[in-house]
Homo-oligomer: A and B are copies of this chain.
Amino acid sequence: MDNETSLRNERKRGSGVKVVYDILRDEILDLELPPGSPIDEVQLSERFGMSRTPIREALVRLAGEGLIDTLPNRSTMVSPIDFLNMHSYFDALVLMYRVTTQLAAKYHRPEDLEVVRALQAEFAAAVEAQDALAMISTNAALHLAIAEAGRNPYFTGLFTRLLNEGRRILRLYYQSYNDRLPRRFVEEHDEIIAAVAARDTELAERLAREHAEQIVSQVQKLLVRGDRLDIQL
């Protein structure tokens, strides 16, 4: 990728770290860098046309979010997906779905709903177009927008992290996303948004819970199928 190194001289001071961080983060979440991939600092510094210092800073941040694992004095690699403790993940995901949606119903402002509805339209379009990748990302963006409307940075922070992890997992199985299930998700989204708009916290929470459990059970099915196919990570 020489268009990255060519940016060497026109780069603003301090922006280098963010660029590297963003690109690597996306590549990890999109599985372009699959779990277990070795991360070589000099290689990256050559690729991005900068010294190892900003690269290392980006890597430290990625490690802080659990996206890469660093073995002291030894290699660093993309974090494996922990299929063994997946139930922990699902527990946390469902709870964050519930609580962020509930808080959104409580604290949202009119302008929040505009963003949410726009993203829901994008999600519906992705479903209509059978674009599984777009479904995954717009779905995450939608639920994150709802969470933002709840205005609790602690929950949105954890939820962001969980949705990112989910992006990696779903990426593995996006082929299986071609049945009619996504249409049901569109309807459920509409119901959730309506409950949020009506400030019905109880209903919003219940719908979010059912929606989340729906997704989880679906993903779990995919995981079981994956295990049978001996997918290794």
Contacts and interface: CB of A to CB of B under 8 A. Distances in A.
For the complex formed by this chain, how many copies does it contain in all? 2
Contacts of A158: 154, 157-158
A162 B152 CA distance: 13
Contact of A88 (B89, B95, B154): B154
Contacts of A72: 14
Nearest to A64: B64
Interface stretch (A23-31, A55-63, A119-127, A213-221): A55-63
A88 B57 contact: no
Contacts of A232: none
B154 A89 contact: yes
Interface string A51-75: 0010011001100110000001100
A105 to B, nearest CB: 14
Interface string A86-114: 00110110010001000100000000000
A92 B162 contact: no
A13 interface: yes
A9 interface: no
A155 B91 CA distance: 9
7 contacts: A14-B72, A61-B64, A85-B153, A88-B155, A89-B154, A92-B154, A92-B155
Given A64-B64, A64-B65, 14 more contacts: A13-B73, A56-B57, A57-B57, A57-B60, A60-B60, A60-B61, A88-B151, A88-B155, A91-B154, A91-B155, A92-B155, A95-B99, A154-B162, A157-B158
Interface of A: 13-14, 53, 56-57, 60-61, 64-65, 72-73, 85, 88-89, 91-92, 95, 99, 103, 151-155, 157-158, 161-162
